Amino acid sequence: RARHCASGSASCGHTCQREHSAHCATSVRSRELRAAISLAPSLLQHKQTLTVTAGSPLWRDFDLEKQTYCEAAQKNPTGCGERDKFAKQLCQSVSKQATTALAAWVATRVTSRKNATVDSEGLVKRLEDKFGKTDTNALQAFKAISGLEASDVLAFRETWTEADTELLRKLDSLNGSFTDGELTAEGIRLRLPSLKALEDLTARKSFAIVGSGASLEGKHLAADIADHAEVARFNNFPTDTEDLGNRTTLQVVNRWIKPTDGLQIIDLEMSNSFDPYCFRLSHQGAWAARDDSIPWLVRPSARCALAESIAGFTRGFIFYWLVGTLFEEVDMYGFVGGGKDHIKRGQTSADRPVQEPFVEFEHKVYREIREMQATKRVLAF
């Protein structure tokens, strides 16, 4: 089970083991409160009131009169079956409002996606023409997210709403859990990254997204990978001095992965996007930040607006589409050419192939994107 957990690619249907550590809560800086209160005016006009009553069957799964969702997660983190069921039901209870709010936000924001990297509308048309009859489910799942980017799905100060706060309140409403004192939207915003952080990241221009695919074996690309302004790797990533390189600036993870010190963490858990808030943002979380680092998480109501089919994509593909396509120059290593196998560098997780059902379709998407590019970027070899 630990091997399954280390690979980080599948859902919690298997029981995983993970390491616990004490936390040191980062204090909320009161001098930032005034600035936080004024955030998100454009998105907050679309906020919805969530109505889930404590007496519904949804709540009895966890006996929340005795413990909160996050308390249950901390006491038994690997017992995620009931938590995943709870999360799914909670999202279903607010999906209509969440979908409306997300659509309203997307309609008002200006896209940051670089057409030089990918023309999303043109890409969908090509995919429909070539694979509409053979990859129906994967194509429909991709079309559902094709218009989305990082600012739509991730939690930022400017995009956090009262509806998101209400969802966190269902996980743990106790004072001091997610904020110092009473749980409020303003308090949560102080603990989130700003859209400026995303803008600064994508302004770095050149970006290497490094998977762990067997296609990297023997390619001697370490120096090429290191020659990028930003380098993203996934979960418990392997490194070396010849094929993979050692330089890393971003660590993209699922809920089970312990963060690596000194790296920006982006948690793209889609099977249950509530768990990362208990593990990484709660002051009682096993992996709560011990310094000024701020984890990037999937925004609760945004996840509730997304179809369950998004979990059929690998984390690498989701990251590429939401974040990678915002860069002017993005090169991908270790994604296409090695099938579903991982490169082996001593880690036991490499023995386990990729499990997500849409991975072969992802390879087709990458190839179509490269064909469309006037200036060809590295595509995983």
* Spatial contact of 57 and 51, defined as CB atoms under 8 Å apart: no
Cα separation, 263 vs 293, whole angstroms: 8
Pairing of strands 329-333, 230-234: unpaired
Q: Please, are residues 179 and 133 in contact by the beta-carbon 8 Å criterion?
A: no
Q: Are strands 329-333 and 379-380 parallel, antiparallel or unpaired?
A: parallel
Q: In whole angstroms, what separates CA 54 from the centre of its chain?
A: 29
* Tens digits of residue pLDDT in 26-61: 333 333 333 333 344 444 444 444 444 443 344 444
* Dist. CA 60–CA 263, nearest whole Å: 38
Of the candidate ranges 197-201, 236-240, 266-270, 281-285, the one whose mean pLDDT is the lowest: 236-240
The answer to whether 252 touches 268, Cβ cutoff 8 Å, is yes
pLDDT at 259: 92
Average pLDDT, the chain: 81
For residue range 97-136, what is the model confidence (pLDDT) as tens digits?
Answer: 999 999 999 999 999 987 767 889 999 999 999 999 999 9
The most confident of the ranges 11-15, 275-279, 285-289 is 275-279
Gap between the Cα atoms of 334 and 378, Å rounded:
10
Alpha helices in the chain (DSSP H): 2-7, 33-37, 41-44, 57-60, 69-75, 81-108, 120-131, 136-145, 150-153, 162-171, 185-189, 195-202, 222-226, 275-276, 300-305, 315-322, 359-372
Q: What is the mean pLDDT of residues 331-359?
A: 65
Under a CB-based contact definition with an 8 Å cutoff, are residues 288 and 281 in contact?
Answer: yes
Q: How many residues are present in the chain?
A: 381
Torsion of CA 250, 253, 255, 257, to 10 degrees: -90
Query: Using CA atoms, how far apart are residues 329 and 170, in angstroms rounded to an integer?
Result: 41
* Tokens found for residue 376: 């060809």
CB 332 within 8 A of CB 322: no
pLDDT for residue 342 is more than 80: no
Q: Which residue has the higher pLDDT, 1 or 144?
A: 144
Average pLDDT score over residue span 159-172: 96
Report helix angle 120-131 to 359-372, nearest 10. 120
What is the pLDDT, as a whole number, of residue 116?
65
| pLDDT at position 64 | 56
Please give the Cα distance from 192 to 253 (Å, whole number): 17
Positive or negative, the Cα torsion across 4, 5, 10, 12?
Answer: positive
Of 271, 255, 260, 365, nearest in space to 321 by CA: 365
Average pLDDT over residues 4-29: 37
Over residues 227-277, the pLDDT tens digits come to 999 999 999 988 899 989 999 999 999 999 999 989 999 999 999 999 999
Closest C-alpha among 123, 101, 148 to residue 326 = 148
305 or 32, greater pLDDT: 305
More confident site: 115 or 363: 363
pTM of the full structure: 0.81
